[in-house]
Amino acid sequence: MRIRSFLRISMLSLPVLLFSACSLFITKPEAVSTGIIDADDPYIQYTGRFDFSNPKKTVFDWAGVQICAKFQGTSCSIRLDDKTNEYAVIVDHRAPRILTTDSLTFVYCIASGLSDSLPHSIMIQKRTEPLVGKGIFSGFILDKGKQLLSPEKRPERRIEFIGNSITSGFGDEGDTNGHFTPQTENACMSYAAMTARALHADYMLISYSGRGVVRNYGDSSTTSADPMPVLYDRICFFDSLHKWNFKNWIPQAVVINLGTNDFSTLPFPAKNVFQEAYTRLIDRVRLQYPGVTIFCICGPMTADPCLSYIREVVEQEQKRSRDKDVFFIEIKPEALANTDWGCGHHPNIIGMSKMTEIIAPTIRLRMNW
């Protein structure tokens, strides 16, 4: 059993999410009580992209996806096939605990010794991005004779984030001298998750480290075969066949934070190639979500020419869009202090909170939230 402590932070005008220094007890299948709830139970609440091709075994890999339920009884276990990922588990709205998966365990006890007089809530959220691996969820195991109840209502506000490592929370729990590991990534504390919580909104992350608008990090060419727009319609990152139905979850706002990887290393993509691809992505978002408001972010890990290119695209979009549905948000590198960086010079949790303090007020103002 691994125990890990977490940085506690407070932010002005933002809810504080505290992590406790504890991990979850692993219970082997033979030790778990009966009371099986399959993954297709109508009272299980899924937020994010899940592949229900086999409704008894839901597959997922994007960071930040959530599985929520309300249950009766004193205990709750999950049936999960996952060898590499980490999850945040919240029981009865208490501080999150960490679930670290392994190759030998398929049933994890995530709550025990609870009061039997009141219903309980559970949320399991994936902290790590697709590069760490996928998960297969088969359902819950409750006390014998206990059932799931009607789930809690989700927020009416919804934000979709399209991004790269920054949006995924890459290395936000590490330090500048450390190397990335799954334990240093926490999408639940990325600027995206913090912004959504600050605005009392549900959220979805479509993000993967190293991806760009036209060129991925370190590519020897000025364009790549599979930048983020190519992956945007996938249910799961590593599955090119199954496509997401955009009608399943319709946001009122979409945040695009791409471009950093296009210009992190040479050779840079041509200005017209980058701007045309960025414009196509905006049009594609509009097509999927008519009437949506789009926020285009640049920074804090890059500046010009990426910043100027994106600003120009937004200005052109505002001229041609009569309802002014696209806005630009700049996060300057100097907005973060030297101590605000984690692994690979990515923002750490404090850096993420500073990004949130720039992004959330702009979205709140434009969305009238």
pLDDT for position 4: 38
pLDDT for position 120: 98
Complete domains list, the chain, with CATH: 29-149 (2.60.120.260), 157-367 (3.40.50.1110)
Q: Determine the average pLDDT of the residues in 88-92.
A: 98
pLDDT for position 320: 84
Q: Provide φ and ψ at 59, rounded to 5°.
A: -110, 145
| Residue position matching structure tokens 């309802």 | 323
Bridge partners, residue 257, by sequence: 163
Q: Return the percentage of the chain with pLDDT > 90, whole number.
A: 89
Cβ-based neighbour number of residue 302 at 10 Å: 19
Confidence of residue 34 (pLDDT cuts 50, 70, 90): low
Contacts of 358 (CB under 8 A, 6+ apart): 329, 331, 335
pLDDT for position 322: 62
Rounded to whole angstroms, what are the CA distances from 64 to 262, 269, 339, 362, 369? 24, 30, 25, 23, 23
Q: Determine the average pLDDT of the residues in 86-110.
A: 97
pLDDT for position 28: 39
Q: Return the percentage of the chain with pLDDT > 70, whole number.
A: 90
pLDDT digits (tens, 9 = 90+) for 38-64: 999 999 999 999 999 999 999 999 999
User: Which tops the pLDDT comparison, 356 or 21?
Assistant: 356
DSSP 81-114: E-SS-EEEEEETT---EEEE--TT-SEEEEE-S-
| Cα end-to-end distance, the chain, whole Å | 42
3-state secondary structure of 194: helix
Confidence of residue 323 (pLDDT cuts 50, 70, 90): low
Taking each helix axis from N to C terminus, what angle separates 191-198 and 349-367, rounded to the nearest 10 degrees? 40
pLDDT digits (tens, 9 = 90+) for 93-103: 999 999 999 99
pLDDT for residue 346 is more than 70: yes
State pTM to two decimals: 0.91
pLDDT for residue 303 is more than 50: yes
Confidence of residue 1 (pLDDT cuts 50, 70, 90): very low
Q: Determine the average pLDDT of the residues in 290-296.
A: 97
Token reading at 350: 């404090």
pLDDT for residue 10 is more than 80: no
Rounded to whole angstroms, what are the CA distances from 287 to 82, 206, 258, 279, 290? 35, 17, 19, 12, 6
Q: Determine the average pLDDT of the residues in 173-188.
A: 96
Quote the strand ranges of 240-310, DSSP E: 253-257, 293-298
Average pLDDT, the chain: 91
pLDDT for position 87: 98
Closest of 94, 43, 87 to residue 61, by C-alpha: 87
pLDDT for residue 17 is more than 50: no
pLDDT digits (tens, 9 = 90+) for 234-291: 999 999 999 999 999 999 999 999 999 999 999 999 999 999 999 999 999 999 999 9
pLDDT for residue 31 is more than 50: no
d(CA 32, CA 75): 10
Is the CB of residue 251 less than 8 Å from the CB of residue 160?
Answer: yes
Is the CB of residue 355 less than 8 Å from the CB of residue 191?
Answer: yes
Token reading at 326: 């696209």
Cβ-based neighbour number of residue 214 at 10 Å: 26
Rounded to whole angstroms, what are the CA distances from 303 to 10, 150, 163, 260, 310? 28, 47, 16, 8, 10
3-state secondary structure of 76: strand
Token reading at 282: 């905006």
Closest of 61, 4, 28, 16 to residue 350, by C-alpha: 16
H-run or E-run covering 288: helix 271-288
